[in-house]
A and B are shown apart, each in its own frame.
Chain A
């Protein structure tokens, strides 16, 4: 979760409009999906670095990538077994691109601005609001989950034991209190929202607003050109030198 936790900073990337960063995440993800050539993916991946560095996010980004080592190992093993080693490498690159571009988004967009950008994309207010609300409560629920584990352990509950089924059974003493507490919390939140005039008028006003600046337009244009270039390459593969299409022999 650390890799997606917003921290207020003053860098050029943080000051960009959330929509620009959302566009970036979407374009990079599309590119990651349509290509499977290792070199192309690698260059796409490299082109993310200026953003990561400008946002002073290198350490956090490394953390999020490191957190996925296990997943990568699994991918290599299974893909190589059932397909080819090259496939497994491109799969890893794809995931790295998507995770990096989205963590760039979540690390630099204030969760409340997230709501504003969803609104500007014509997402209904209720949906956009519940989205930002769920962000707000992630740390709260994480603390609660830890408290539940502590409370049960203090009654002699032992977590690590037995096979898959008994382990699933073993989760019940944790899951039920978590669900009960979360439901109670949801009720309290709903009450609190009602008590603060939530939904009392359709003509809601906003204290904060997001706006596209020159920086945003510049980056948007670059991203779109980059994207169009990617699409052209996909349609006319001959445009790139042959070595771009090199793959591992296995």
Chain B
């Protein structure tokens, strides 16, 4: 099923000179872990803003084409309503935690849409359990670590039970282990079907690629490649896009250029190991 559909969508911010999104045609289906990548300024953040209506409702500008979220045109439905379908988690948890303790933080979304107390309570309990933050329940946002803050932010979006959650660089401020833990948590949430589709903007391709089902590559406001992860990684466009290519990919790419290796480039250490094993 199409959860989000872009129909030749273009957007230019007020006062900007150029279109930041150009002729976007895109279908986001359910059941996918999707990686959105592209270099700085390629339009990643604008693309996700268009997915929950922040563009054009919060950020005004010139629009061509349409975006539909579960059949609703984002031009006509406010972001606060779309947020029941699309959750957005931002890079810096510091700016999205608005309550003085974790429990209240998670309650905020359900409160806003008028969920009755009993259901709210059970949702809060469930979200706390999935994200494993029981011990933080009464803590204030500034008493907990960055990784913990990001878990709270995830829980607080989950409490709205959206079908799609989008993460805009959720791990860039975290240490490597916390970053992996957060990304694995996302995969777990997806597999347990607490959520139908996850879209992640992430610079650390080395740790996110092994989790991704699909990759969307964006450059200068256009989607230049979209498909199954291996397919995109093996394409010229990806290798020349200027994103941080994981080392195991670039090692095998070099080998390929030297005609020593043919086949699919490995997207994870596990795949690399299998590849070496298969040659033995």
Contacts and interface: CB of A to CB of B under 8 A. Distances in A.
B120 A205 contact: yes
B31 interface: no
A66 interface: no
Interface residues of A, number: 32
Interface stretch (A67-75, A196-204, A237-245): A196-204
Given A112-B100, A135-B100, A207-B117, A197 B112 contact: yes
A46 to B, nearest CB: 33
A201 B114 contact: yes
Interface string B157-183: 100100000000000000000000000
Nearest to A203: B114
Interface residues of B, number: 45
Interface in A177-208: 185, 188-201, 203-208
Given A133-B98, A188-B92, A199 B104 contact: no
B81 A197 contact: yes
A112 B81 CA distance: 24
A111 interface: yes
B15 to A, nearest CB: 15
Interface string B28-45: 000000000000000000
B110 interface: yes
A194 B111 CA distance: 13
Given A112-B104, A195-B83, A190 B58 contact: yes
Contact of B111 (A110, A139, A205): A205
A206 B79 contact: no
Contact of B99 (A6, A136, A199, A205): A136
Nearest to B139: A8
Nearest to B91: A188
A195 to B, nearest CB: 4
A197 B120 CA distance: 15
A194 B54 contact: yes
B12 interface: no
B54 A192 contact: no
Interface of B: 49, 52, 54, 57-58, 78-81, 83-84, 87-88, 90, 92, 94-101, 103-104, 107-117, 120-121, 124, 138, 141-142, 156-157, 160
Given A195-B83, A196-B83, A199-B80, 11 more contacts: A140-B94, A185-B95, A188-B92, A193-B98, A194-B54, A194-B57, A195-B52, A196-B160, A203-B114, A205-B117, A205-B120
